[in-house]
Amino acid sequence: MKKDVVLNHVTKTFGNVNAIENVSLQFDEGKIYGLIGRNGAGKTTLLSLLASFSEPSQGTIEMDGKPLFENADLMEQITFVYERDYQENSEKVKEHLEAVEAYKPYYDKDYAMELIKDFKLSLKTPLNQLSKGMKSVLNAIIGLASRSPVTIFDEIYSGMDAPTRELFYQKVIEDHALHPRTMILSTHLVSEMDYLFEEVVILHKGKMLLKEPADELLDRGVSVTGAAEGVDRFIQGLKTINTQTLGGTKSVMVIEQLTEEQRRNARQEGLEIGPVSLQNLFIHLTKEGEHNEEN
């Protein structure tokens, strides 16, 4: 079975709002995707469609050439984890994981137990007595241990403290290396998660702004740092964003690929050329999206 997920001109409408508008893209089997977008951009809507929670209003979503929606064989391939409050659920963690195991064909119980230990979650706690962070951890464990060919994490990390998030990222990398599968992680924590992503999808107001390999995206710009006067001379005529000044030192993001000659000039000026961050690019690109719409 081919496990790429293909969206063709997908639109999802709520009332008169297009939460997702004419999105076409393919999630290739085995890659780790970062799905980013500002509040209300349509991330959860898109991921819920992949999880078959609802049907697209227009367009198709297919795996192995077949529509995903309500296809039990295909849905077995996908795990979608999202923030849940489990308020009405008093079963214990252990019972809940046993229930998950029953309907997840790739679930690895030993790995789940290892994660329970590493994340220090108690098997005996009723779900509705877990703290917010512990609920996030439980969701993360379900997502990882399900080992589904397509695993979707919808912003489940917000309840986790920083060390727990770090541990989760480490587990994602380790387990993906051992058991390659498609992972889609939506997040607002762009700066701390960017190193996980092989490809980045940016949604903006329901539309797909871009889908690009992370390294190519980061190649779109550089940071230039050094004495303010030298930086000012160097950036003349270049497209820049996000200037920061500290004392006599200035750092500017240049949204252009530099030529060899420009790089040489920078070195001669004593300037340092460094990478841009995905977070800064994201902020810039979504602002630019707004600007283009206004014109």
Angle value at C-alpha 61, between 55 and 64, nearest 5 degrees: 130
34 counts as binding ligand ATP under rule CB under 6 A = no
45 counts as binding ligand ATP under rule CB under 6 A = yes
**Backbone φ and ψ of 120, nearest 5°:** 55, 50
Q: Specify whether the backbone of 247 is left (phi greater than 0), alpha (psi in -120 to 50) or beta.
A: left
**Backbone φ and ψ of 177, nearest 5°:** -65, -40
56 counts as binding ligand ATP under rule CB under 6 A = no
Candidates 43-51, 68-76, 228-236, 260-268; binding stretch for ligand ATP (CB under 6 A): 43-51
Nearer to ligand ATP, 42 or 143 (CB): 42
Q: Are 138 and 84 in contact (CB under 8 A)?
A: no
Q: Are 67 and 60 in contact (CB under 8 A)?
A: yes
The two three-digit tokens of residue 271, written as one number? 């300037």
Nearer to ligand ATP, 61 or 231 (CB): 61
53 counts as binding ligand ATP under rule CB under 6 A = no
- Count CB neighbours of 231 within 10 A: 23
Candidates 32-40, 157-165, 171-179, 222-230; binding stretch for ligand ATP (CB under 6 A): 32-40
The two three-digit tokens of residue 166, written as one number? 């770090």
Contacts for 119-126: CB closer than 8 Å, 24+ residues apart: 119/164, 119/167, 121/93, 122/93, 123/92, 123/93, 123/94, 123/97, 124/92, 124/93, 124/94, 125/92, 125/93, 126/89, 126/90, 126/91, 126/92
Rounded distance, CA 166 to CA 74, Å? 31
Closest of 123, 138, 131, 134 to residue 92, by C-alpha: 123
Least distance (Å) from ligand ATP to the CB of residue 216?
A: 23
Binding-site size for ligand ATP (CB under 6 A) equals 11
204 counts as binding ligand ATP under rule CB under 6 A = no
103 counts as binding ligand ATP under rule CB under 6 A = no
Candidates 14-22, 170-178, 207-215, 217-225; binding stretch for ligand ATP (CB under 6 A): 14-22
Nearer to ligand ATP, 53 or 195 (CB): 53
Candidates 33-41, 115-123, 166-174, 280-288; binding stretch for ligand ATP (CB under 6 A): 33-41
Q: According to CB under 6 A, which one of 7, 27, 37, 61 is a site residue for ligand ATP?
A: 37
Rounded distance, CA 264 to CA 134, Å? 52
Report the C-alpha dihedral over residues 213, 215, 220, 225, rounded to 10 degrees. 160
Q: According to CB under 6 A, which one of 1, 2, 9, 14 is a site residue for ligand ATP?
A: 14
151 counts as binding ligand ATP under rule CB under 6 A = no
43 counts as binding ligand ATP under rule CB under 6 A = yes
Nearer to ligand ATP, 43 or 284 (CB): 43
Which DSSP letter does residue 276 get? P
Q: According to CB under 6 A, which one of 39, 87, 259, 295 is a site residue for ligand ATP?
A: 39
Q: Are 5 and 67 in contact (CB under 8 A)?
A: no
Q: According to CB under 6 A, which one of 19, 36, 231, 266 is a site residue for ligand ATP?
A: 19
Nearer to ligand ATP, 40 or 275 (CB): 40
139 counts as binding ligand ATP under rule CB under 6 A = no
Nearer to ligand ATP, 41 or 231 (CB): 41
The two three-digit tokens of residue 10, written as one number? 């997908």
Residues that bind ligand ATP (CB under 6 A): 14, 17, 19, 37, 39-45
